[in-house]
Chain A
Amino acid sequence: MSYLKIINKFFEYICRFLVGSLLALFTMSIVAHVFLRSVFSYPLSWAQDGAVMLFIWMVFLGAPVALRYRMHFAIDLFGDKVPRLGYVLNVVCDVLVYLFLYVMIVYGVDFLKIAHSMYYSYLYIRQSYVVVAIPLSGFIMFFMNTENLIVDLRALTARSLLEDGGEVS
């Protein structure tokens, strides 16, 4: 197994564990808030802020897992009708994904400086602790996308070899 696959497997394990736990945690915080408000008239003022923070982290940690398994919605107009074109488009798309990941990482770090001076009203936690999920997500997706790109390049070259009458190893 290549180093990249090992790294991505590790990232996936961590992300899957975290997104499941974050979902469970914010569900519990909302239920606790409703229960305490309805039964004891004692609402948890921080519960909404807390749940939203966990939710944002969940979204940006789940996106890399979806990218690894190519689960993000795409419209396939050509299907299997033009296989060669399909392989080329896969590679083109992987390269285009890098452009957006670059923005997520570089400008995400930039925005962190601004978000560091802003606070959540009830929890009094710096917003940068939540915004940091965006560049981090871009960073993990960079590895996931590289794995996809390698697979697509291999598929493209294998296809070319087959069409040229060569053998695929």
Chain B
Amino acid sequence: MNDTALMLLLGIFFITIFLKLPICFALGLASVSTMLYLGIPLANIINIMYASLDSYPFLAVPLFMLVGSLMNGGGITDRLMNVSSAWVGHIRGGLGHVNVVVSMLFAGLSGSSQSDVAGIGTMIIPAMKKAGFHAPFSVAITAASATLGAIIPPSIIMVIYASLAQISTGALFLAGFLPGILIGLSQMFYCYFLAVKFNYPRDQKMPMKKRLTTTMFALPPLLVPIIILFGVIGGVFTATESAAIAVCLSLLLSVVVYKSVRLRDLGAIFSDSAVTSCISLFMMAVAGCVAWLVGYLNLPELITNYILSITSSYYGVMTMLILVLSILGMLLNPSIIIIAFMPVILALGKVAGAHPLHLGIIVNLVLALAVITPPYGTSLLLAAQIGGVSPLRAFVSIIPMFLLAMLIIFLGVVFPELFLCIPRFFMPKAM
């Protein structure tokens, strides 16, 4: 009976999403039909939807999205771009490097890849095309660097993962630092390689005094992630509270300091951010039903037994986990994968014998890349739309950067301390 119910759950879900049914309703209908088959009262669906959202850490999702909107609307993105341009614009392939560095800086403020593409992509993709960069590469590097938004802290998917896996959010944030920087550097390295090959332009080197002045102008927004991080690591406030404080600081910067957002525009910014975040949150509520059924139908045990029949080594299980998550990431939103498949992820991590924090950072890195893999690569699709390039051409251009990021993830699998050294140093108690 369980096998048929499982087939029904997955079958209806995949058939309906291929019919172009919004994923939230596909998840809902798959859960409803499976519950009807199993004779479970449908009022449970409502209970689970409610219980899935009855979680204080999830409040960080709309708050970080709001921070992203305020920063974009407040001209803060421009200042971050000027800083990046001052420091790396003169390297061969200048705007490509600026694109990566500004994404790394913006990652410290927004927490999501989509707001990174929306905020930075609209400015930098046209500029790169105008400067002579190939359009698919301009789109690809924008989408690839936007993945850093979900890797370099703060990160929305890390907050969701940490709350469900019951590990320290601060430690997971810290674990994201080094891989984020390594992935960013790998993208800059690839950009340099292409710049030499295709003779991409570079900016003139700025005098040191001008560099410092430009940096000074952007210093206040750069302090926001530092306050967030130290607050969370130091145990002064939780990730959700840090997001609310980041909202206040962004408001202060954009309305009072820079005066780039008018008070009367705040209503629209708040309601737009709330509606945008409701899309993922509503989906998360319904995904809770699938997660409940996944547990009820014993899917974690089934998958674990299946994988154990193939391999029981640490490397084998971790590779299978990365492979499965990458395939799921092609079709689903990272937060949905975390919610619906968390029991499976934790079971596999246990079988592999991975440290919970190490497992967490590997899962988050793989899922951060999900936004650039088609057909459901939201950042890639958005960047391709901004750049006027077909998603397929953009995907072909992004493959080398995707593979470089995967290489770094596998390095982390082989050498766990590479990702764990920073949290071990700053938060030994959380290890």
A49-60: CB near B (< 8 Å → 1, else 0) gives: 001100110111
Judge whether A34 and B273 touch: CB under 8 Å: no
Contacts of A20 in B (CB 8 A): 267-268, 270-271, 274
Question: A42 to B375, alpha carbons, bound, how many Å?
Answer: 50
> Smallest CB-CB separation from B333: which chain A residue?
A73
26 A-B contact pairs sorted by A residue (CB < 8 Å): A17-B271, A19-B271, A20-B271, A23-B62, A23-B66, A23-B273, A31-B245, A31-B247, A52-B55, A55-B53, A55-B58, A58-B62, A62-B274, A72-B279, A73-B24, A73-B333, A75-B20, A75-B23, A76-B375, A92-B19, A93-B22, A96-B16, A96-B25, A110-B43, A111-B50, A114-B47
Q: Does B349 contact A (CB under 8 A)?
A: no
Cα of A107 to Cα of B43 in the assembled complex, Å: 5
Residue of A nearest to B28 (CB): A100
Cβ of B290 < 8 Å from any Cβ of A? no
**Nearest CB of B to A48, in Å:** 5
Stretch of B147-155, B236-244, B353-361 lying at the A interface: B236-244
Question: Secondary structure at chain A's binding surface: helix, strand, loop or mixed?
Answer: helix
Q: Which A residues are within 8 Å of any B CB, using their own CB?
A: 16-17, 19-24, 26-27, 30-31, 33-34, 38, 48, 51-52, 55-56, 58-63, 65-67, 70-78, 86, 89-90, 92-93, 96-97, 99-100, 103-104, 107-108, 110-111, 114-115, 127, 130-131, 134-135
Distance, CA A78 to CA B375, complexed state (A): 11
Return the CB mask of B1-40 against A: 1 if under 8 Å, else 0. 0000000000000001111111111001100100000000
Q: Is B314 an interface residue (CB 8 A)?
A: no
Any A CB within 8 A of the CB of B203: no
6 pairs of A and B residues whose beta carbons are closest in the complex: A62-B278, A20-B271, A72-B22, A19-B274, A20-B270, A30-B244
Chain A residues, CB < 8 A from B375: 75-77
Q: Name the prevailing secondary structure of the B interface residues.
A: helix
Chain A residues, CB < 8 A from B28: 100, 103
In Å, the complex CA distance between A32 and B276 comes to 25
Q: Which residues of B contact A22 (CB under 8 A)?
A: 274
A23 to B24, CA, bound (A): 22
Contact of B241 among A30, A90, A127 (CB under 8 A): A30
